[in-house]
A and B are shown apart, each in its own frame.
Chain A
């Protein structure tokens, strides 16, 4: 690749010195130093908004720094655009993949590159190279598969292969594990280590302590735009890292005290739900959530969790089965009726489904209560003062950080949007609280806050059902864990007496010893599922 600086084997691959980047009202990076040596995995660790992404966007040519220098292989460079970054051998795997779903893997990899056969396509050569790379790094993916057919984990492999194909010497991965199962994470880490062993430099952005310590050689912690420290991963503990990240001493989250569960408030029986493509996504799920319980549904995404949530919430009519909230049958009823019957629901995709981005904080807080007589005058006119008063109350009670009640919600951070949605849903005093991915992509402080709220809600006698791909979250918050696999609940476990590994195996469809078999009316189905996987 013309213009690629030769990497001196001794010096650092990348050296960023004194990077300062100011956005209106925010000092996103304040005199940050960061370097990557060949063959190392360097983790960039910090809360949302700490400046990790800004720093990497400066590196990738998306932003120009106000001050500071970048040197690649010892030579100072200016990176005016991502195209220039790519030409200099920098690769980036974004959180949201940059792939064209209707094209094949090989087509996506060759996109934007000159064909080796001039005006003619060279897809067979690309495919052969993709196959080679996929083999040697253990990144299993078929070159002629269409991207839309691939799972999230496979798409990520395509992104990494894209970078490898372009012979990137420096690869930045932005929260790559957020979307992966424990098994997939292991495979990813193996591939990354192999890349590092071949002299590649890797930047690993994450806010998961376990992974940062497990994968990286060095860790740089950012807080509020500044570099707090750069440390050897082997020389710090998880607690120390967490403290550096938030800047104060934090207590370990308490494991849920197991309250004595009360009567069943949510009971789902023999639920069968069809997915978007008409196939059965939920294939006979029965479960109960009792007052005071927090039941966590673990599982790799795409095993019917979303369809189960939507069926319970009245957004997807089930083909079969029943959903009872405090004994009232709700299967097939519309979402408004389900809410009135006492279901609170925090959807998985909070920006698309949880809020109207253009609406203000106050408007979003009344999204589910535009029929509430307390907010309306006689012929259906809004009592603006009441709307604002309620919004002010909720914003204060749930610590939603917003400049004003009139601020459009799209301007808030993910954590604050999630707090807003939780506030809105809990304001209706639900009997059953269904929360999908309670803390995905939000920072530790906000996540803790939401976990506390969930526990408090359970303690009040609400039945809480969470669906999460984050195994740590499921294990710390739930009083009982159910594992979904291929549309069924294939196992149940007590998080205090089960290991992550045992649940991880169940998520992969293997019912391991040590996990209790599922109880309850769905037993026959689960037994059948066990028989299949054994």
Chain B
């Protein structure tokens, strides 16, 4: 299969299965998808909402690109978002008097630092103690959420809220308006966060393909052995990639607080109560974007639209928004499996092109062994 066809075909396949599911709910898939499209991309308000929803996704995706290109699977976006949000929220709560031109950059920097710190823990564990980063980042997600639940219902809680029977809502007080991300298009939610995310995506692109660090990160990602033999420090590269990845996710946390409608940090005690699952969805966005920050911009916008439009679809057809999550999952399954088919096909072609010769390149050779084994059925 041609490389570029993988993504659209995956998306269409996922939407087709989604259509069957909508039918199963007793609704008309055409009505459903029309409502979805309209809610996501129909008109400037819808487009602004989609861009707004895409912002944290793009930040997490950019971070995922750095990490996965360096062969560190950072699945800790959720925790790093929370860490960045908590750190920046605490800063804004502590320094409400600072002027906006100082406070906004400050909360962004602190958020990036918070996310970097949280990811850095997993990075150091992987680099120096060989702890699997997938496990450690997932575990750190849980820790971050519990820390957040404690802080938002204890030390950081808004004590001036009116009393209710269920106790205090775990949220901070309204943050100083000087810390809010300025709105770009009046009348919509679209704010500075979008530009921050685009800048981060651009920076990640330049970093990966035009800098010494990016060169090392990609070398380590493709072949840690060759990188080490060439004198690179695999450990340092691993930790740095994780720090950068966490910083991008931390920025997503700041966007979720200072670019929200409520302008406070609020959760409901559940795992995704604050993040809305952006830490995981951002990984999907990056994978759909081929781990390339430029394509991740497109991919983030599409997934943002899917999430925003899902709500509209629920309104029009009564199909739960969870269906959107299902479609998202299906897209991942299709992208991953088709990518495998594509790689397999390319290698097979390589093997035949080169005549399976004695000095076939090693990777193709190792795959060709699999192929030969498969053909020989031994």
Query: Which residues from chain A sit less than 8 Å from chain B, CB to CB?
Result: 21, 23-26, 28, 48-49, 51-54, 57, 61-63, 81-83, 86, 95-96, 98, 111-112, 174-175, 205, 313-315, 334-336, 338-340, 345, 347, 351-359, 363, 366-368, 370-371, 375-376, 380-382, 384, 409-415, 441-442
A442 to B372, CA, bound (A): 23
B361 and A313 contacting across the interface, CB-CB below 8 Å: no
A315 touches B228 (CB 8 A): yes
| B residues less than 8 Å from A368 (CB atoms) | 230-231
Q: Taking A111-B378, A368-B230 as contacts, is the C-beta distance between A53 and B355 under 8 angstroms?
A: yes
How distant is the Cα of A205 from the Cα of B357 in the complex, in angstroms? 12
> Is B219 on the interface with A (CB-CB < 8 A)?
yes
Which residues of chain B from 199 to 252 have any CB-CB distance to chain A below 8 Å in the complex?
206, 210-213, 215-216, 218-219, 222-223, 225-233
Distance between Cα atoms of A21 and B356 in the complex (Å): 12
Residues of A contacting B353 in the complex (Cβ-Cβ under 8 angstroms): 23-26
Evaluate contact between B358 and A95: CB separation under 8 angstroms. Answer: yes
B352 contacts the other chain (Cβ, under 8 Å)? yes
Residue contact B361 to A371, C-beta cutoff 8 Å: no
Contact with A along B113-133 (1 / 0, CB 8 A): 000000000000000000000
B357–A53 touching, CB < 8 Å:
yes
User: Closest CB-CB distance, B292 to chain A, in whole Å?
Assistant: 14
15 pairs from A and B in contact (CB 8 Å cutoff): A23-B355, A49-B357, A82-B372, A82-B375, A98-B369, A98-B373, A335-B228, A335-B229, A345-B229, A356-B222, A357-B362, A367-B226, A370-B216, A381-B206, A410-B363
A415 (CB) vs chain B CBs: closest residue: B359
Q: A24-B353, A356-B222, A371-B212 are in contact. Are A351 and B229 (CB under 8 A)?
A: no
A354→B358 CA distance, assembly (Å)? 18
Given contacts A53-B355, A57-B356, contact A367 B219 (CB under 8 A): yes
* Interface of B, helix, strand, loop or mixed by DSSP: helix
Give the distance in Å from the alpha carbon of A62 to the alpha carbon of B206 in the complex.
44
Interchain pairs with CB closer than 8 A, number:
152
Give chain A residues whose Cβ lies under 8 Å from the Cβ of B215: 363, 366, 370, 382
Find chain B residues with CB under 8 A from A345 CB. 229
**Bound CA–CA A21/B350 (angstroms):** 15
User: Of the candidates A28, A61, A112, A353, which one forms a contact with B229 in the assembled complex, judged by CB atoms under 8 Å apart?
Assistant: A353
Given contacts A82-B375, A313-B229, 14 further A-B contacts (CB under 8 A): A49-B359, A53-B357, A57-B356, A83-B377, A83-B378, A352-B225, A356-B227, A370-B212, A370-B215, A370-B232, A375-B212, A380-B212, A381-B206, A410-B361
Smallest CB gap from B358: residue in A: A53
Q: How many angstroms between the C-alpha atoms of A499 and B215 in the bound complex?
A: 48
Kindly provide the distance from the CB of B223 to the nearest chain A CB, expressed in whole angstroms.
5
The residues of B that contact A351 with a CB separation of less than 8 Å are 361-363
Instruction: Using A63-B355, A357-B222, A410-B361 as known contacts, say yes or no to A83 and B375 having CB atoms under 8 A apart.
Output: yes
Q: Which of A61, A62, A358 has the most CB of B within 10 A?
A: A62
Contact B213 A54 (CB under 8 A): no
Among residues of B, the one whose C-beta sits closest to the C-beta of A56 is B356
Give the complex CA separation of A352 and B369 in angstroms. 16
| Residues 161-184 (chain B) with a chain A CB within 8 angstroms | none
B371 — nearest CB in chain A belongs to which residue? Answer: A62
User: How many angstroms from the CA of A186 to the CA of B365 in the assembled complex?
Assistant: 29
How far apart sit A380 and B216, CA to CA, in the bound complex (Å)?
12
Query: Which residues of A lie under 8 Å from residue B372 when comparing CB positions?
Result: 62, 82, 98
Known: A96-B365, A351-B363. A83 touches B355 (CB 8 A): no
Task: From known contacts A111-B378, A336-B232, A353-B225, infer whether A410 and B364 are also in contact, taking CB-CB under 8 Å.
Answer: yes
Whether the Cβ atoms of B375 and A380 lie closer than 8 Å is: no
Asked whether, in the complex, the Cβ of A54 is within 8 Å of the Cβ of B357, the reply is: yes
For the complex of A and B, 8 pairs with smallest distance between CB atoms? A351-B362, A414-B359, A112-B378, A410-B361, A82-B376, A336-B231, A54-B355, A367-B230
Contacts of A384 in B (CB 8 A): 210
Docked complex Cα distance between A28 and B353 (Å): 9
Give the residues from 328 to 378 in chain B that come closer than 8 angstroms, CB to CB, to chain A.
Answer: 350, 352-359, 361-365, 369, 372-373, 375-378
List residues of chain A with CB within 8 A of the CB of B365.
96
In the complex, which residues of chain B have a beta carbon less than 8 angstroms from the beta carbon of A338? Answer: 231
- The smallest beta-carbon distance between B104 and chain A, in angstroms, is 24
**Are B233 and A23 in contact, CB atoms less than 8 angstroms apart?**
no
In the assembly, what is the distance between CA of A414 and CA of B359, in Å?
Answer: 5
**A338 to B372, alpha carbons, bound, how many Å?**
41
Give CA–CA (A440, B338) in the complex, Å. 37
Return chain B residues, CB-CB under 8 Å to A375: 212
Q: How far is the CB of A351 from chain B (nearest CB, A)?
A: 3
CB within 8 Å for A352 and B357 given contacts A334-B233, A359-B222, A367-B226: no
Flag if B359 contacts A441 (CB, 8 Å): yes
CA distance A334 to B236 in the complex (A): 12
Cβ–Cβ contact A382 & B211, under 8 A: yes
What CA separation (Å) do A23 and B227 show in the bound complex?
A: 33
Contact with A along B11-30 (1 / 0, CB 8 A): 00000000000000000000
Minimum CB–CB distance for A214 against chain B, Å:
21
Q: B351's closest neighbor in chain A, by CB? A: A62
Point out the residue from B226, B231, B376, B377 that lies within 8 Å of A356, measured CB to CB: B226
Task: Give the distance in Å from the alpha carbon of A96 to the alpha carbon of B212 in the complex.
Answer: 36
Q: Which chain B residues lie closer than 8 Å to A49 at the CB level?
A: 357, 359
Quick one: which of B211, B375, B377 contacts A62, CB cutoff 8 A?
A: B375
Closest A residue, CB atoms, query B361: A410
In the assembled complex, the Cα of A108 lies from the Cα of B377 at a distance in Å of: 13
> Which residues on the A side are within 8 Å of B233 (C-beta)?
334, 336
Known interface pairs A351-B363, A368-B230; A23-B352 also in contact (CB < 8 Å): yes
In the bound complex, CA of A414 to CA of B357 (Å): 10
Instruction: Give Cα distance in the complex from A221 to B218, angstroms.
Output: 43
Once the chains are docked, how many angstroms separate the CA of A411 from the CA of B353?
10
Establish whether residues B226 and A355, one from each chain, have CB atoms under 8 Å apart when the complex forms. yes
For B227, list chain A residues within 8 Å (CB): 356, 367
CB pair B357–A359 under 8 Å, yes or no, is no
Let me know if A175 and B358 touch, CB within 8 A.
yes
- Separation of A23 and B216 alpha carbons in the complex (Å): 35
**Bound complex: CA A381 to CA B352 (Å):** 39
B378 and chain A: residue at smallest CB distance:
A112
Complex: A201 Cα to B71 Cα, angstroms: 49
